[in-house]
Structure 1
Amino acid sequence: MPDTIAEQTRLPSELFVDIDRSSPIPMYFQVATTIERAITDGILAPGARLENEIALGERLGLSRPTVRRAIQELVGKGLLVRRRGIGTQVVQRPVTRKVELTSLFDDLERGSKHPSTALLTREVIEADDAIAEQLSVPKGSPVLHVRRLRSSDGVPLAVLENYLPSEFTDITAEELQIRGLYQLLRARGTMMSVAQQRIGARAATSEESRLLDVKAHGAVLTMDRTAYNNNGKAVEYGHHCYRPDLYAFEITLVNK
């Protein structure tokens, strides 16, 4: 369905009062600079949708090609993105996450983001060979299997898949939708002490492409993690994938 003006962010005309039509600086560049400043100043929030090129051009008395080139300038800088059926949208600021024993939910909250969760799967299953090995439980043991779509400020960021041993099968769907997994484990008296983690990349599945709003079979970052409590018992195994344009891992290297 086409965008309506009500669904779009209409930039105040006064933002463009400094545009100088007699200046040797190209008009498209002046418009792009003004919109970029609106983004960095928070006037245009991540996820905001701009009014279409024709409407903006008419308000400013500029040609559509001039406005289009200004928008393309910001698309090239990674500040805007064009989405079919949605329009031009301010890009969500990338999440840079240190490789530490923390949860994505906690990291987003600390970064003044607004995490939200769509629960895709919550089921108690029997552990197969691979999951039994990761959690150090007998094959066939009941484990909680959870899949969630985690968004940041309304923009899909990651598909999170986790397996937890039988003592956590009482975690409810309602809890998983409003709190982070590590928050729920801490609330049950479980503290994560150490983890084994592997970071990689692969092509997204068709479902992941749809959920994360990335091109079909495009690349996604992956992380596999098994976390252990203070007693060395495995308390969760996770296999997660992330949008590479909005997510990065940060590692500090020390020369020894």
Structure 2
Amino acid sequence: MDTAGELKHVWLRRQLQDLVAATLRPGDALLGERQLEEQFGVSRITVRRAISDLVQDGALVRIKGKGTFVSHGLVRSTLHLASFNEDMRAAGFEPSTRVINASAATPPPAAAEHLALPRGEMAYLVRRLRLANGAPVSVDESWLPPRLLPDLLSKDLTGSLYRILAAAGHPVQHAEQTVEAAAVPEDTAALLDIQPGAPVLLFKRRSFTGQDDPGTPVEYAVSTYRSDRYQVSMRLGLGKE
């Protein structure tokens, strides 16, 4: 092994990157730690360090009880107001959508409050699985007011809800969004192809139309993202005191 002055785990990381690029595809399993030790003549500690680096970089993903696999890719997104499809294409991925449920339903309290719905009034629920290059990235649950979109359920809901809102005369002008860490529930885990209780990113968004402040509420959304396939980045400036 000629490391040319490199640390062993850095050298091994490069070797694993080459191995993945040459012989493996997204979803394929990586060789076990013992096999990697023998093949590259390094210690178990070095193997684990190199794999951890690649997991952190998004090239590999660990699945508890199963092993380490080649990632389908880590989507890096800057915080901005855009549809999922725009976000994925900007990151270099091909987006697609599967509609899980589209119906009139009783909204949860947070959605009803945001949409200013009287107690017991129904809202439209659109729940969708969002994919990048065919791999599940998020489950989006959107609540929308029927009074603004009476024919929503007859639309093609595999595309952008923002475009549907804009075509109906209610373009999203601004939104308030929070992001938090959460443990994924069992039904959502099955859709995202991860273990129940796995860490996910939970986005909660309140969207408005109109130029007035705060504007007319048009959507309340909760999006559950796989934390191993989605990363949020932001650019920060030093504020003045």
Report the equivalent of 2:207.
227
Q: Is 1:138 the equivalent of 2:121?
A: no
Q: Residue type of the partner of 1:193?
A: Q
Report the equivalent of 1:123.
103
Farther-moved stretch of structure 1 (181-190 vs 147-156): 181-190
Residue 30 of structure 1: how far off its partner (Å): 7.6
CA distance in 2, matches of 1:173, 1:81: 39
Unaligned runs of 5+ in 2: 4-8
Once superposed, what is the RMSD of the aligned Cα atoms?
A: 3.6
Q: Is 1:248 the equivalent of 2:231?
A: yes
Given the superposition, is the C-alpha separation of residues 63 and 138 from structure 1 closer, same or farther in structure 2, using an over 3 Å criterion? Answer: closer
CA distance in 2, matches of 1:46, 1:234: 44
TM-score by length of 1: 0.70
Q: Is 1:185 the equivalent of 2:174?
A: no
Q: Is 1:66 the equivalent of 2:45?
A: no
Alignment of 1:30-69 (within 5 A): 33-37=14-18, 47=26, 49=28, 65-66=38-39
Given the superposition, is the C-alpha separation of residues 80 and 237 from structure 1 closer, same or farther in structure 2, using an over 3 Å criterion? Answer: same
Report the equivalent of 2:6.
none
Q: Are 2:163 and 2:171, in contact at CA under 8 Å, matched by a contact in 1?
A: no
Alignment of 1:1-256 (within 5 A): 23-24=1-2, 33-37=14-18, 47=26, 49=28, 65-66=38-39, 75-76=51-52, 77-78=54-55, 79-81=59-61, 89-127=69-107, 129-166=109-146, 167-172=148-153, 175-177=156-158, 179-231=159-211, 232-254=215-237, 255-256=239-240
Alpha-carbon displacement from aligned partner over 1:55-109 (angstroms, at most 9, x marks no partner): xxxxxxx999427989867643222346599986421332222222222221002
SS at structure 2 position matched to 1:138: coil
Residue 199 of structure 1: how far off its partner (Å): 1.5
Residue 215 of structure 1: how far off its partner (Å): 2.8
CA distance in 2, matches of 1:45, 1:204: 28
Residue 223 of structure 1: how far off its partner (Å): 1.1
CA distance in 2, matches of 1:206, 1:63: 34
Q: Percent identical across equivalent pairs?
A: 27
Given the superposition, is the C-alpha separation of residues 82 and 137 from structure 1 closer, same or farther in structure 2, using an over 3 Å criterion? Answer: closer
Given the superposition, is the C-alpha separation of residues 84 and 98 from structure 1 closer, same or farther in structure 2, using an over 3 Å criterion? Answer: closer
SS at structure 1 position matched to 2:219: strand
Question: In the comparison of the two structures, how many residue pairs are matched?
Answer: 223
Q: Residue type of the partner of 1:247?
A: Y
Q: Residue type of the partner of 1:175?
A: D
Unaligned runs of 5+ in 1: 1-22, 55-61
Q: Residue type of the partner of 1:33?
A: R
Alpha-carbon displacement from aligned partner over 1:157-180 (angstroms, at most 9, x marks no partner): 111111001132422477122x12
TM-score by length of 2: 0.74
Residue 226 of structure 1: how far off its partner (Å): 0.8
SS at structure 1 position matched to 2:152: coil
SS at structure 2 position matched to 1:168: coil
